[in-house]
């Protein structure tokens, strides 16, 4: 996989922005190790249903952030590896793994570098998993999809749960501000990654929200990429994967990505009553093809 067409300079700025944001996010989350030691999980029903029984399966969680979902997957019996570009996130994830007693492997790496190096070693997994705010950081979908295909065992699955690109057309006040089709051009945020945990409260801290860093201001800008559903699916198909599941939802799990969102049971976030519904979240399952031996 030639990663020369990947926007590494933008990735590094994102790494710095995520490092700062992650400190603020975890300051709001209280004693997470205690939550996990007592059997807690940060997974939602949608991803658990998609994944099914993961007992004994090898699973890599790409863009795992600070490892909460990764450890929740390990708790379900998977042998997990979490990968993230943020130094702060991976350091925290390793510490959380130790303090909670849930074993997992965490690698600090740009996802493109990790996929390339893992494929070069010939290492493959039963499941490649990614969730909630992942695809918007991918600067080259075709290389990303090929990398995923390269580290999947024959017949095994890529599982994705993410916020819908249609939702990303709207500003926080529900005004239509951004384009759906961007041709891969980055959208730069001078104020960087926000403390969305603080704005979401208990929706992202089911064990109880605690006030941490206040009035957080990120000193590093960030860069996102707006990819449509067709872009994502086309990249996976071009990498040789077979599409098995595509679902869309009128709610988003956990994160209050817009103003005045209504929280329903299960920490599901819906638009306010005066905003017509729109897809806020989607799921994809794509499977690596089986190889058949010819006699």
Tens of pLDDT, residue by residue over 163-199, are 999 999 999 999 999 999 998 899 999 999 998 887 7
In this structure, is residue 293 part of a structural domain?
Answer: no
Q: What is the pLDDT of residue 215?
A: 86
In this structure, is residue 71 part of a structural domain?
Answer: yes
First to last CA, the chain: 31
Q: What is the pLDDT of residue 211?
A: 78
In this structure, is residue 56 part of a structural domain?
Answer: yes
Instruction: Write phi, then psi, for 233 (nearest 5 degrees).
Output: -65, -40
Contacts of 97 (CB under 8 A, 6+ apart): 67, 71, 103, 104, 106
The string of DSSP codes covering 123-151 is --EEEEEEESS-GGG-S-HHHHHHHHHHT
In this structure, is residue 50 part of a structural domain?
Answer: yes
Q: Region 124-145: what's the mean pLDDT?
A: 97
Smallest Cα–Cα separation from 144: which of 62, 223, 21, 210? Answer: 62
Task: Provide the pairing of β-strand 58-62 with 79-84.
Answer: parallel
Please determine, for residue 207, whether its predicted confidence score (pLDDT) is greater than 80.
Answer: no
What domain count does the chain have? Answer: 1
Q: What is the pLDDT of residue 28?
A: 72
Range of the domain at 94: 3-287
Tens of pLDDT, residue by residue over 27-37, are 877 789 999 99
Q: What is the pLDDT of residue 295?
A: 33
Tens of pLDDT, residue by residue over 41-51, are 999 999 999 99
Smallest Cα–Cα separation from 20: which of 89, 83, 75? Answer: 89
Confidence of residue 251 (pLDDT cuts 50, 70, 90): very high
Poorest-pLDDT segment among 67-71, 80-84, 290-294: 290-294
In this structure, is residue 168 part of a structural domain?
Answer: yes
Question: Taking the model in full, what pTM does it have?
Answer: 0.94
In this structure, is residue 295 part of a structural domain?
Answer: no
CA dist., res. 104 & res. 93, Å (int): 9
Please determine, for residue 4, whether its predicted confidence score (pLDDT) is greater than 80.
Answer: no
Mapping DSSP to helix (H, G, I), strand (E, B) and coil, where does residue 229 land?
helix
CA dist., res. 125 & res. 148, Å (int): 10
Q: What CATH code is carried by the domain that includes residue 47?
A: 3.40.50.150
Please determine, for residue 293, whether its predicted confidence score (pLDDT) is greater than 50.
Answer: no
CA dist., res. 163 & res. 227, Å (int): 11
In this structure, is residue 116 part of a structural domain?
Answer: yes
Burial zone of 3 (CB within 10 Å; 0-12 exposed, 13-18 middle, 19+ buried): middle
In this structure, is residue 95 part of a structural domain?
Answer: yes
Question: Positive or negative CA dihedral for 198, 200, 201, 206?
Answer: negative
């Amino acid at each position: 996989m030639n990663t020369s067409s990947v926007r590494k300079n933008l990735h590094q700025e994102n790494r710095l922005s995520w490092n700062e944001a992650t400190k603020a996010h975890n300051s709001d989350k209280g004693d997470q190790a205690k939550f996990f030691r007592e059997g807690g999980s940060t997974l939602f029903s949608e991803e658990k249903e998609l994944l099914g029984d993961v007992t004994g399966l090898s699973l890599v969680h790409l863009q795992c952030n600070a490892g909460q979902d990764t450890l929740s997957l390990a708790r379900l019996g998977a042998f997990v590896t979490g990968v993230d570009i943020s130094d702060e996130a991976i350091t925290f994830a390793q510490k959380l793994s130790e303090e909670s007693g849930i074993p997992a492997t965490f690698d600090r790496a740009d996802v493109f570098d990790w996929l390339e190096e893992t494929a070069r070693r010939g290492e493959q997994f039963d499941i490649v998993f990614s969730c909630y705010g992942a695809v918007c950081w991918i600067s080259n979908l075709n290389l990303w999809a090929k990398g995923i295909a390269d580290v999947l065992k024959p017949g095994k699955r890529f599982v994705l749960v993410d916020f819908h690109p249609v939702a990303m057309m709207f500003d926080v006040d529900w005004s239509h501000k951004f384009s759906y089709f961007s041709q891969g051009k980055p959208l730069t945020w001078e104020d960087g990654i926000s403390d969305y945990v603080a704005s979401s409260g208990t929706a992202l801290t089911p064990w109880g929200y605690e006030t941490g860093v206040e009035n957080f201001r990120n000193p590093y800008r960030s860069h996102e990429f707006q990819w449509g559903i067709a872009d994502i699916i086309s990249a996976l198909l071009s990498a040789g994967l077979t599409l098995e599941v595509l679902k869309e939802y009128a709610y988003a799990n956990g994160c209050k990505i817009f103003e005045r969102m209504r929280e329903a049971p299960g920490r599901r976030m819906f638009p306010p009553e005066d905003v017509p519904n729109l897809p806020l979240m989607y799921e994809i399952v794509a499977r690596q093809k089986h190889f058949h031996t010819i006699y």
